[in-house]
Amino acid sequence: MTTTTAQVTRGYRDDVDAGTPTRARWTWLGVGAGVLGIVATMFTSPNVGTEQVGPDALAKLSRGQLQLGGALGYATVVLLLVLAASWRAKAVTAARGAVAARVAADGLTASAAALSLGYGWKLALALYLPGGLNENGFNTDGQFVYFMLNDFGPFIGYLGVVVAAGAVAWLGLRDRLVSRWLGLVSLIPPVAVLFMSGALSIAGFPGIVGPIWLIVAFAGLSLGKHPILGTARA
């Protein structure tokens, strides 16, 4: 008597039909991280709009806005970590040893680590402001320290995402594992950050271009055809 066993796969459709590539779903995590990142970073930034900022600026802050931004920021960190793990499991495996594919995953992980601090400082500021659970924990000068950490804190944390963008640019323009248009688009964030930091000393520009790149790049990965995802021939 002869028995045969079939390979059972659960949750993955990558090799169900080699002739009909399926769209990757995990790439939408990048779009979600970008959207949440924009809200958590740009729309809840404690910018009081004054030319010379001092401790008196604390009275103009919205504690609820800061708390929302910090909570959404933590959710962004979770999405980035799951995105990085998914990239390693799917894209790195299919990248035939391309170093840039590993750098992209490492960049996303690095940003997740840095943003844990950046958004944590935002939550801490909300905690110590009047109305917070620990409003008497610091005096005005102590609260102002957290205010200064929030000036660029969450913005700087997206540097790892910018590094990931540079890696995807290499994958598109050199390794031809993602489409050429995506490689060109992914070249913009690292070039822009290099210019803004080197010429103008602006530390927080990664927080401007990083989330936007996440939305554009991972929407393109989700909807387009790319060898690294098995939706196009190399």
Record the pTM: 0.87
Could you tell me which of 190, 193, 185, 195 has the C-alpha nearest to residue 216?
Answer: 185
Can you give the pLDDT of all 234 residues of the chain as single tens digits? 343 333 333 333 444 344 445 677 899 999 999 999 999 999 888 765 556 678 888 888 889 999 999 999 999 999 999 999 999 998 988 887 789 999 999 999 999 999 999 999 999 999 999 898 988 788 888 899 999 898 888 999 999 999 999 999 999 999 999 999 999 999 999 999 999 999 999 999 999 999 999 999 999 999 988 988 877 666
What DSSP designation does 67 have?
H
| CA pair distance 93, 9, nearest whole angstrom | 17
Domain borders along the chain are 28-229
What is the rounded CA–CA span in Å between residue 146 and residue 139? 11
